[in-house]
Structure 1
Amino acid sequence: MGPWRHFYRGAMAAQPGSEPATAERPLALATGASRGIGAAVATALQPTHRLLLGGRDAGALAARTAKLPGARAWPVDVTDPAALRAAVAEIERLDVLVHSAGVAELGTVEEAAPSAWRRNLEVNLLAVVELTRLLLPALRAARGHVVVINSGGGRNARPGWGPYAASKFAVRGFADALRAEEEPNGLRVTSVYPGRTDTEMQRAVVAGEGGEYDPRRFLRPESVAAAVRTAVLATPDAHLTELILRPTL
């Protein structure tokens, strides 16, 4: 049995009268966890979960895991099906899967390049579908929970946001279909729709729009993470299917 399998299966036992040992906590995997909303989600879940932090930047993941006891880096390109299959091979049981990795390549229907449509769909939809599909046995084993970080763009399409909105509407449909199929197997599926959030991606979007960046206008990543934690820690009789967050300003 390799060291990763030991981490996944949680073989350590807590001492009588003590808090549960780290290895006894449920296991959560968050993609896009090196920064932004994904990193905030990891921090929010750390007190109650063991963590696998997914992302492409191994250095950034290492720095993040160093701050979160009970966390392991899970460096993988979610758009690489072969890499995904190899990365999930030893995950036998998974309690929480949070899809936070995403891109936002914008443009009008007339002007957006085909590559922008493909890139949005590849990361925001197809990677979510494939990772979930590969992990379904592990999620079913745990009667687990899938959380999809969607966007306001997954409910309302704005001019100039066509490629991104199309991918987010599509992943909304995926989450709805997954919920309908897997709820009888004990899985919960939550779509989270945050408004514009203070992240590096948002800074790039505002710069592309030619606007002035004011973080006070946006949600904080920690606020979105708190919503995810609420859904994940809901009592067994409750299934929070959709959560919508908007900035107060």
Structure 2
Amino acid sequence: MRGRTVVVTGGTRGVGAGIARAFVAAGAHVVVCARRPPEVALPGTRFAPLDVRDPDAVRDFFAALPRVDVLVNNAGGTPYRTLADAGAERHARVVELNLLAPLTVSLAAYEHLRRVRGAVVMIGSVSGSRPSPGSAAYGAAKAGLESLARSMAVEWAPEVRVNTLVVGMVRTELSCLHYGDRDGVAAVSRTVPLGRLAEPSDIGEAAVFLASDAAAYITGASLLVHGGGERPAFLDAATVDKSAAEEGDMP
């Protein structure tokens, strides 16, 4: 990635910071943008204030950049909120941030990316492919993001590659808001086949791969980075006689 310029939206903390660090380690020039500067300095990066929900600001931001080789659409997120506990307007803001904003940013970066035969990496979520109670609008937006990436990959080929990282549970500085204290994080980790939550660096390394020449023939793809996913609940709830099943007596 030496000599390449990478823009990471929402790149000041958590998964975004892990992605930014991975690209810095790979030799890239990294610009991170968010509404607020990072609380902890990210060596090797340049910070630029930006609200990705503001189309005019997004267009001005990319117009001022001399070059963009890689765009990582990472900005997003949602509070826990059941559907009936909020009006449609609040859920619409979640969709705006997690689906419409990546579209806005990608369109603003397109001419830069086309000139250098660059790459877009969307940061998706397993919430886009399974029920997401408490974050239904977020899950719907992430499902839409994968669909958007696949269509974008076809429309923009061969000049721009577009792929999605489908991310599972990640240990960040805000993990306690989702999983509880240390014991809660440990308990949740045990539900993952690999036995742990992802680290932001795991997501960062995968993003670097999809943006690199090693993935030159990969576009329109969704790469699962979830430690094997989740163990199906029915396996723990079932009362099957395993010996009978092994002997072929079970249907």
2:37 aligns with 58
2:224 aligns with 244
Question: Would you say the 8 A contact 2:169–2:197 is kept in 1?
Answer: yes
Partner Cα distance (1:219, 1:176) in 2? 25
Deviations 1:50-87 (A, max 9, x none): 111111112537x22xx22xx32121111122221221
**Residue 60 of structure 1 aligns to which amino acid in structure 2?**
E
2:176 aligns with 203
Give unpaired runs (5+ residues) of structure 2: 190-195, 231-251
Structure 1-normalised TM-score? 0.79
Question: Would you say the 8 A contact 1:125–1:170 is kept in 2?
Answer: yes
Q: CA deviation at 1:91?
A: 2.3
Aligned match of 2:214 in 235, 238, 241?
235
Q: CA deviation at 1:92?
A: 4.1
Partner Cα distance (1:40, 1:219) in 2? 11
Deviations 1:175-217 (A, max 9, x none): 1111110013x2111100011111244432335xxx9333854
- Over the matched positions of the two proteins, sequence identity in percent amounts to 28
Q: Answer 1 or 2: higher relative contact order, Cα 8 Å, separation at least 6.
A: 2
RMSD: 2.3
Structure 2-normalised TM-score? 0.78
> Residues 104, 59 of structure 1: CA spacing in aligned structure 2 closer, same or farther, 3 A cutoff?
closer
Alignment of 1:142-161 (within 5 A): 142-161=116-135
Question: Would you say the 8 A contact 1:104–1:201 is kept in 2?
Answer: no
1:10 aligns with none
**Residue 117 of structure 1 aligns to which amino acid in structure 2?**
H
Partner Cα distance (1:52, 1:30) in 2? 6
Question: Structure 1 runs of 4+ off > 6 angstroms?
Answer: none
Return 82-91 or 106-115, whichever deviates more.
106-115
1:193 aligns with 166
Return 97-106 or 238-247, whichever deviates more.
238-247
> Residues 144, 237 of structure 1: CA spacing in aligned structure 2 closer, same or farther, 3 A cutoff?
closer
2:103 alignment partner, SS class:
helix
2:95 alignment partner, SS class:
helix
Give unpaired runs (5+ residues) of structure 1: 1-21
2:104 aligns with 130
Determine whether 1:36 maps to 2:14.
yes
1:110 alignment partner, SS class:
helix
Question: Would you say the 8 A contact 2:209–2:215 is kept in 1?
Answer: no
**Residue 133 of structure 1 aligns to which amino acid in structure 2?**
L
